[in-house]
Amino acid sequence: MSEETGSKSERAYAAIKDKILGGEYSPGYRLVLAKLAEDLGFSVVPVREAIRRLEAEDFVTFERNVGATVAGIEPTEYLFTMQTLSIVEGAATALSAPLITPGDIARARAINAQMRSCLEHFDPLRFTALNLEFHSVLFENCPNPHILDLVHRGWNRLKTLRSSTFSYVPGRAQESVAEHEALLELLESGAGTDDIERAARAHRAATLDAYLAHSHRDAPATLAQLH
């Protein structure tokens, strides 16, 4: 691969991935090489390389007689990831609580305000990035490095699953912002770690339940069973 082709391939990869993550290319959307190349102003070669890379990362699937299409969230993997993240992130947030400062609360509240401002002209990609930033303020003080590592793995797994749940259930975003504020108020009030952990887990559960309700697919368990 020439340096020029490599650069164009990288740009094509980034452009197509952004449209997938942002919901413009939704699950099942056909990725026609010639049309993508025309839209991007490239030849077909770097676009094909970008599509192959996205396929290797499970963003794209190939079907016989169909070609390349945007992959959807695999419901069972999403379910298991969210269940695990609910448990470990809830624990990390509770363990962090005694170490969270008023400055941390103010920073988290400012991030939540940015999330609220996203609601009018909803941008699921930005909202999801801010969501991680918000929760990071609450769990990064966790003194148990093993639990913290599991939280980071869970969030990374969600990225691999290409999960901005808010692309599928944008109505959940407004509820999420309200639940963030309630969680901050719990932390400010000096609530017990059990109450904080339950609230953090319920918040994660509500997002999963919204997705499962939207998907209309059976799942082997629900987070309600873990409460």
Lowest mean pLDDT of 47-56, 74-83, 103-112, name the range.
Answer: 74-83
How many whole angstroms separate alpha carbon 14 and alpha carbon 174? Answer: 28
Residues 183, 199 contacting (CB under 8 angstroms): yes
Half-sphere CA count of 190, side-chain side, radius 13 A = 0
Residues 128, 155 contacting (CB under 8 angstroms): no
DSSP for residue 14: H
Per-residue pLDDT band at 216 (split at 50, 70, 90): low
Please state, for a pLDDT cut of 90, what percent of the chain lies above it: 56
How many whole angstroms separate alpha carbon 155 and alpha carbon 174? Answer: 21
For range 77-106, the mean pLDDT:
94
Lowest mean pLDDT of 71-75, 138-142, 202-206, 220-224, name the range.
Answer: 220-224
CA dist 119 → 7, 21, 55 (Å): 35, 17, 31
